[in-house]
Amino acid sequence: MTATYSEDTIKTLDWREHIRHRPGMYIGKLGDGSSQDDGIYVLLKEVMDNSVDEFMMGFGKKVGVTIQDKKVTVRDFGRGIPLGKLVEVASKMNTGAKYDSKVFKKSVGLNGVGIKAVNALSSEFIIKSYREKEVHEVRFAKGKLVKDVPVTTSDEPNGTCVSFIPDEEVFGKYHYVSEYVETMLMNYVFLNAGLLIEFNGRRLVSKNGLLDLLNENLSQPGLYEPIHLKNGDLEIAFTHGNHYGEEYYSFVNGQHTTQGGTHQAAFREALVKTIREFYKKDFDASDIRASIIAAISIKIEEPVFESQTKTKLGSKNMGPEGPGVRNYIIDFLKKNLDDYLHKNPETTDILLKKILESEKERKAISSIKKIARERAKKASLHNKKLRDCRVHYNSKDERRLETTIFITEGDSASGSITKSRDVETQAVFSLKGKPLNTFGLTKKIVYENEEFNLLQSALNIEDGLENLRYNNVVIATDADVDGMHIRLLLLTFFLQFFPDLVKQGHLYILQTPLFRVRNKKETKYCYSEEEKEKAVKSLGKNTEITRFKGLGEISPGEFKYFIGKDIRLDPVRLRKDESIDKFLSFYMGKNTPDRQEFIINNLRVEEDLVEA
């Protein structure tokens, strides 16, 4: 039967309905809070941007943030929203002061959408404005006005207070990870000297800007003291380490542009130009940037981003009448970095030595690189290792944040996931046997080992994360001893050669159920003994309990429940105080007394797991 196409099929959604119907357009992916770019963090960011914009304009030095029982509250001490416009600011699209560039010259939130998205996607949304000894409060539920409290007198200082609870109808079961929230808030203080943020009672503040950010993210000291350069609209800090890859933290008007953009590309180009001219040698660009960790912050009038989530800068110019971003950064580095290098010969010696070491290693693997690339290209066309998806992370498709690749072991597990996946956004890479332990090896092994060469090629990360094909890289192995070992070997590979994949929050472990509990009417999948016991009680008598020994035992028909909207992912996170070298040495190096003691002390736990 053909659907009728008439006037009745044409519908117009109001702002609230449109946001709730297509939340991805406004906040990216939804998620459950286990990923740094999940929607619940974007909601907090949208509110915080407004408060920090007030600070940037010179109003209010403190912002208070609390998260308690899923309720988020942000209180700033800026000017406060004009009381008569409170309802419009919270619920009328394309309404805000930031269209007036004189008031908010270099702001992030220019489209008047952000706080409306928070309102529409929250089961409870309360906004209060304190202004000139008066207060106006408005309450909403899922974007609908519930109560407009009349203006009354108040002794509270000027500012705005926003409280919201993300709607479980939209986000499902979710949780805030304090570490993710704190990282976001710390970025605000790194970029705004003098700003104080109190998060659940803890004071966050920075005195040295991007220099503090860089030191916070160094797992071990850099090869030389970080170089810190800044003027009114541009701040840069960087050093080199011994890790593989390039690591960048880039910002525009305080917004963390995790996908980089014109400013980050300009910095990478400017660094190479300046270094070549200083040493008067035509070094390969990859040798100059190898092992760099850098932070760059730029302020631009009316920035243009490639999506509503503002993760990649598209602006070519500093403003409508300003210079080009590329030339501005090149000129800045050419003068300031060149001056610094002339004044610090000790740093220049260390930097030169690092570049020459990178050049030596690159040439050592160049002979096998071309062969490895051809092998990877042929394999991806003719074998079954990679079952790709249609949408990729490096595209402009609005589903890019949902893109996922599952790294699996064995044909049966790969087959089940392949048959049950979403072919639009989910890919599958099948491992053959246990990967090699790469601890202590050089990057040459990535090209010599077929499995790692093909995996690197599938992810498209040989030259860094700029062209990463999948937002979520998920290790999907059995929850037995062999599966755990494979998991650890893959973690070693990524931490050894592509640590920024982990640091930028792209790597996950797939949780799969250990038990299936069912009766004639209902089936429940359980991820722990505790969940199994609850399921048995709730389903009553005559229940059938199945213990899954491996992913291969889970049928495609069942697998779709575990990799769909209710997918459970454990993010692989590195604590700030953890050194990758020490971590890998302990777990993957030669047997040491420390590891022997650890195994003995934790033997009972392993025995309990085997018995379970």
pLDDT in tens, 109-151: 544 468 999 999 999 999 999 999 999 999 999 999 999 999 9
Q: Rounded to two decimals, what is the model's pTM?
A: 0.79
Q: Domain 383-512+550-573 - what CATH class?
A: alpha beta
Q: Of 37-41, 70-74, 400-404, 608-612, give the lowest mean pLDDT range.
A: 608-612
Q: How many residues appear in the chain? A: 612
Q: How many CB atoms lie within 10 A of CB 295?
A: 27
Percent of the chain with pLDDT over 70: 87
The whole-number average pLDDT for the span 222-241 is 94
For residue 21, what are the CA distances in angstroms to 16, 41, 121, 170, 222? Answer: 9, 19, 10, 9, 47
Structure tokens at 9: 């099929």
Q: Of 1-10, 291-300, 317-326, 568-577, give the lowest mean pLDDT range.
A: 1-10
241 with 295: CB under 8 angstroms?
Answer: no
The whole-number average pLDDT for the span 57-86 is 93
Residue closest to 83 by CA, chosen among 157, 24, 160: 160
Handedness of CA 379, 385, 390, 391 (dihedral sign): negative
The whole-number average pLDDT for the span 281-292 is 95
Phi, psi of 496 (to 5 degrees): -75, -45
**Quick one: CATH architecture of 16-204?**
2-Layer Sandwich (3.30)
- Work out the pLDDT band at 503, boundaries 50, 70, 90: confident
Sheet containing 515-518: give its strands across: 523-526, 515-518, 544-547
| Position with higher pLDDT, 444 vs 584 | 444
- Work out the pLDDT band at 14, boundaries 50, 70, 90: confident
Q: How many CB atoms lie within 10 A of CB 302?
A: 18
| Model pLDDT for residues 160-175, shown as the tens digit of each residue | 999 999 999 999 889 9
pLDDT of 236: 96
Tell how strand 292-298 and strand 234-240 pair up: antiparallel
Domain 210-361 identical in fold to domain 383-512+550-573: no
Domain at 210-361, CATH from 3.30.230.10, 3.40.50.740, 3.40.720.10, 3.40.50.11740 = 3.30.230.10
Q: Give residue limits of the domains in the chain.
A: 16-204, 210-361, 383-512+550-573, 515-547, 579-612
pLDDT of 388: 92
The whole-number average pLDDT for the span 21-35 is 85
pLDDT for 249 beyond 60: yes
pLDDT of 591: 62
pLDDT of 221: 87
pLDDT of 9: 46
Q: 3-state SS of the chain: helix, strand, coil percent to 5?
A: 40, 20, 35
Distance of CA 228 to the CA centre of its chain: 25
Residues pairing with 63 in the sheet: 76, 197
pLDDT for 385 beyond 90: no
